[in-house]
Structures are given as structure tokens and as C-alpha cells.
Structure 1
Amino acid sequence: MKHARVRLTAHGRERDIHPMYGVMTETSFVERATALQWNYTGDALGILHYVVGDADALETAMEDIPEVIGYDVARVDARSFYVYVRDATTGPLRELFTPVTSGGILVVPPVKYEPDGTVVFSMFGPDDELQEALTSVPSPIDVTIEAVGGLADTTAAVEGRLTDRQREVVKTAVSRGYYDIPRTVSQAEIAAELDCAPSTVAEHLRKAESRMMRTQFLR
């Protein structure tokens, strides 16, 4: 069994795979998007995203996409929201999903849409099935394997090694924009929200970051 962290690049042709793939990676009104959970049935894909951007513009875009069967938006604040989208699949999308849904492979959430249009995620499963899935990715997508490891290297395993308080602080920091560029919240503001000292927030973030960085780079 192996874990692989991979990066998919469609070279600006994301819409050729599926129109919503293009929306999440190519539009100015989506600043950052992460796929949290999904359900693929072959002819349809239900997917839950966390998005930083313009919810109204995204809704307008989805209304014009025939493949979007339905959606629901839950706003967190003025610039962030959750959106569930149910899509009809396309041929290229089925080519992309079938190898990772027909055997023993797990795609480990989250799936992150990067600002440069690439998509980064982790897969875990039997070596031969991983190899087959990665070599059968349809054109125009290219695959880059960024890291290979074991079960302990998956996102879920890394998060599992954080304490409940560390996880709470990290999730608050991410959702409030501590890791955005430019940063939109300070450690003091996070501390005020969590009712603790700024030094406590700093310590929790430092320890959590250290564990995650060691797992990713010190194999």
C-alpha cells in the first residue's frame, strides 16, 4: 500500500474536462477553493466545496452551466462560503474518476485548487492500482507526483496526530485568513475569538505546523 500526493495540471484546458473544473480554477471571482467531500455515481458527481471569493458571481456562473444539476450555497461571511454542487458528468471527467472509484484506491480529502490552476490531493491504495490510475489520467491533464509514502503520510493521519486544541486553533486560523496573502487576521485576533492568550495561539500553531511539515518533508 502506498500514499501519493499528486498535482494535476490541465494547462488552461480545465473546462475541457468539466465546466465546473474551469470555474474553480480559472475565474477571478474564486480566490481559493477546496473540495471537502464528494460522491461519484458515474453519471453524476455531488461535491462539497469551501470557497473564498464572490458567492454571487459563482451562482451566476453555475446558472449558465448545463451540466450543473443543482447547488446550494451556505455563506460563512462576506468572502467565504460552502457550496454543494451536483453535476452531470462528462466523458473526460468519467475517465478521470473511474480508475479511483472502481477499486481499492481512496482519494483523501481535501482536494485543493491552487491559484495557478493546478489541483493537489492525496491518494492511498494498492501500489499497482495507484500506478494504473496515475497513468490513465486523460488528456490534457498532466500528473506530477510530489511525494510518496505510507499510511502515516496521509492528510487524515497527520491531522490525527494533532491535539484537539491544536486542530481547533489551526482550523480557526485557516478559516479567518491567517494563512492568506496578505494575512487578514492576527494571532491576537484568533486568541480573542478562542478566549486564550496570543502566546498560546502561537505555540499551538508552531507545534501543529512543525508536525505537518515534518510529515511532508522529513520522510
Structure 2
Amino acid sequence: MRYVHVDFEFPPGVRHPMHDFLDGGDDRRSELLTWRRLPDETLATLFRVAAPRERYLDRLRDIAAIERFETSPGEPPFYLKAYERLGGPTETFLDAFVDTEFLSVPPVVFRPAGRLSFGLVGPPEQLRDALAAVPDRITVEVDRIGSYGGGRRLAGVRLTERQREALRAANRVGYYEVPRTGSVEDVAAAIDCSPSTAGAHLRKAEAALVDAFVGRWE
């Protein structure tokens, strides 16, 4: 199976109001875990939300398209099931993938500044037409195409290509073995840079991955 991971950036004019709410702080994000488009053109969704609970729900109540919702108890992160009437940019965006064979790999991650990330399993030859149907104002970046091997993926974690190369090299040379059989110098040699640069790539990549994992489950 072929796997594609895509990053989108929605400008304010085509951004969902709840996506705008996430701009209130870098610690805010929401993850769309599953969804269904109902026959009456209502979108049923299940989100995991990391944001101030009452302010988030107050904002949700102000959106006319939200017909009803329910939440899990407790402090953030919390779970939200919502029913929303489709229309506008949200429907246009979803329609880009309707006639394709792609299956989304949850979660779909919403972050501040209108950023959205998700993975797809399906035929890469359909990708160009699907992305061409995305509204023009939405910025699209395909950051990975490869084989899908299953497992949990931390969608929404932004790593540079050099950081990815460093992680792959570190894994290959035994840097993450216990006991460790490879060194930062080995990683540097594998990706053709200085040890200090290789170390910086690894630290930044590891910090992003740990932050995403801890932020999801704490």
C-alpha cells in the first residue's frame, strides 16, 4: 500500500472558525479521529481537543452550522462529538477527495496558523487530481510518499528533510540501540555534515517527536 502525508495551510478567509480558535496559543491543537458524511449532508465528527475547554465550547456554540455536540468530562484534552451542516470551504475541501480511492489515516491534525496535516493510503497517481481540486488559496505540501507499514504515526509533527535523514541514519548506524553501537560521529559521516550539526538535527527532531507524543497522551 502506498502512503502519502500532506500538509495544508488555510488562510483566514477559508479557515473553519474553530481552526481560527487554535491561534490563541501554541499549546492548542485538535485532532479529528473519525468522521462520517451523513445522507442529509451533515458531517458527524469525533475530535480530541487540547485547548481551554469552556472557551472552546463557547466559541463552538456561536457557529450556526454546528447543530449539536457532546463532550467527554474532565479537563483538556477532552473528546468532542459534533454534527455540522456542510457548506462553504469545508465542503469544497472534502469534495476534493470524494471520487478518489484514498483512505485517510487518522488523526487529521489541526494546529495554529491554519495548518492541517494528515496521511492517506491510496494510489499516488490520483494525488495530483485530488490536490488540484483543493481551493486555490489553500497551500499544499506533500512531505512524504512511501509504503504504508501500519503502526501509530504522529501526524502533524513537522520535521525538516535533514532531520528525517539524521533520524534514519541514527537508526541505521545503531545510535538508538541499547546498548548504543553508533555515535553522533557515525551519523555525521552518514549524512555528510559535522558532528555538531548532526547532533543539532537529532536533538531538534527528538524534541518535536517527544513533544507531540507527550502532548497527545498527557
Question: TM class, shorter-chain normalised?
Answer: 0.5 to 0.7
- Higher helix share goes to which structure? 1
Distance in 2 (CA, whole Å) between partners of 1:178 and 1:134 is 29
- Please tell me whether residue 158 in structure 1 is matched to residue 146 in structure 2: no
Superposition TM-score, scaled by structure 1 size: 0.63
Aligned length: 160
Deviation at 1:4, TM superposition (A): 0.9
Distance in 2 (CA, whole Å) between partners of 1:2 and 1:104 is 11
Compared CA separation, residues 128 and 148, structure 1 to 2 (3 A): same
Deviation at 1:78, TM superposition (A): 2.3
Greater C-alpha radius of gyration? 2
Compared CA separation, residues 30 and 159, structure 1 to 2 (3 A): closer
Q: Tell me which residue corresponds to 1:148.
A: 145
Q: Which runs of 5+ in 1 are unaligned?
A: 161-173, 186-219
Compared CA separation, residues 92 and 178, structure 1 to 2 (3 A): closer
Compared CA separation, residues 29 and 178, structure 1 to 2 (3 A): closer
Q: Could you tell me whether the CA contact under 8 Å between 2:15 and 2:114 is conserved in 1?
A: no
Deviation at 1:29, TM superposition (A): 10
What SS does structure 1 have at the residue aligned with 2:142? strand
Task: Tell me the percent identity.
Answer: 22
- Please tell me whether residue 103 in structure 1 is matched to residue 100 in structure 2: yes
Whichever residue aligns with residue 5 of structure 1, its letter is H
Compared CA separation, residues 69 and 148, structure 1 to 2 (3 A): same
Compared CA separation, residues 29 and 89, structure 1 to 2 (3 A): farther
Distance in 1 (CA, whole Å) between partners of 2:90 and 2:66 is 14
Q: Which runs of 5+ in 2 are unaligned?
A: 154-208
Deviation at 1:178, TM superposition (A): 6.7
Q: Tell me which residue corresponds to 2:72.
A: 74
Superposition TM-score, scaled by structure 2 size: 0.64
Q: Tell me which residue corresponds to 2:8.
A: 8
Compared CA separation, residues 55 and 143, structure 1 to 2 (3 A): same
Distance in 2 (CA, whole Å) between partners of 1:54 and 1:20 is 12
Distance in 2 (CA, whole Å) between partners of 1:142 and 1:62 is 25
Whichever residue aligns with residue 158 of structure 1, its letter is G
Whichever residue aligns with residue 79 of structure 2, its letter is Y
